[in-house]
């Protein structure tokens, strides 16, 4: 079972439906026990960084997310959820993040359109990452005004180009993040999400039905 962490800010329905389309059981959960018992967890997010962290702290789900990551089971942050994995953000003042990955989230700066919105090609930096198994570089869908700057080079798994390199996928051990929306990114996005779900070891629903 895959837990979609519900802290009041996220495209929960579309993420859970994407997980189900890939054949896995998904549950939208705010209950710590349900989340901790899941085979994998997804932290989605839409909105402002500070508001998201406030919600996580008020519900205690910030500590649940940290405990889940410490358990060694796979956790994936999507869009704002990926940014929350980092040390902090300068969005509307300085905000402390979950600090699962060292680095800061900063606003785009330049004479170009902000937010970065649309289809951009990924460039894989770590070809051996299990997220990229069987995949080739292609386009995925981004919508964001802030982007992450990892402190550790090996945490950067893929970038895209938007007037310079932009962090697209990060990962360290069992902690992963995707700046784009895999559930809205066509075949490549779904394949990347599917490779993450495979890491959880969760049984696909059709396998459960076949053996029951």
Residues designated catalytic? 79, 181, 183
State how far the Cα of 96 lies from the Cα of 103, in Å rounded to an integer. 11
What is the Cα Rg of the chain in Å? 16
Sheet strands side by side (includes 123-124): 26-29, 2-5, 40-43, 75-78, 175-178, 165-172, 156-161, 123-124
């Amino acid at each position: 079972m895959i837990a979609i962490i519900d802290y009041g800010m996220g495209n929960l329905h579309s993420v859970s439906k994407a997980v189900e389309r890939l054949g896995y059981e998904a549950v939208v959960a705010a209950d710590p026990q349900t989340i901790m018992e899941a085979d994998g967890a997804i932290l989605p997010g839409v909105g402002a960084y500070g508001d998201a962290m406030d919600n996580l702290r008020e519900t205690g789900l910030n500590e649940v997310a940290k405990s889940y990551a410490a358990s060694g089971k796979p956790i994936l942050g999507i869009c704002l959820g990926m940014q929350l994995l980092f040390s902090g953000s300068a969005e509307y003042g300085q905000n402390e993040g979950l600090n699962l990955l060292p680095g800061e989230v900063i606003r785009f700066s330049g004479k170009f359109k902000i937010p970065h919105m649309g289809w951009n090609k990924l460039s894989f930096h770590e070809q051996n990452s299990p997220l990229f198994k069987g995949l080739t570089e292609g386009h995925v869908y981004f919508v964001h005004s802030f982007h992450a700057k990892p402190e550790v080079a090996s945490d950067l798994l893929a970038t895209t180009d938007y007037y310079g390199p932009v962090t697209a996928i990060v990962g360290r051990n069992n902690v992963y993040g995707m700046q784009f929306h895999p559930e809205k990114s066509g075949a490549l996005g779904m394949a990347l999400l599917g490779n993450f779900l495979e890491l959880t070891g969760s049984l696909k629903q059709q396998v459960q039905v076949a053996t029951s």
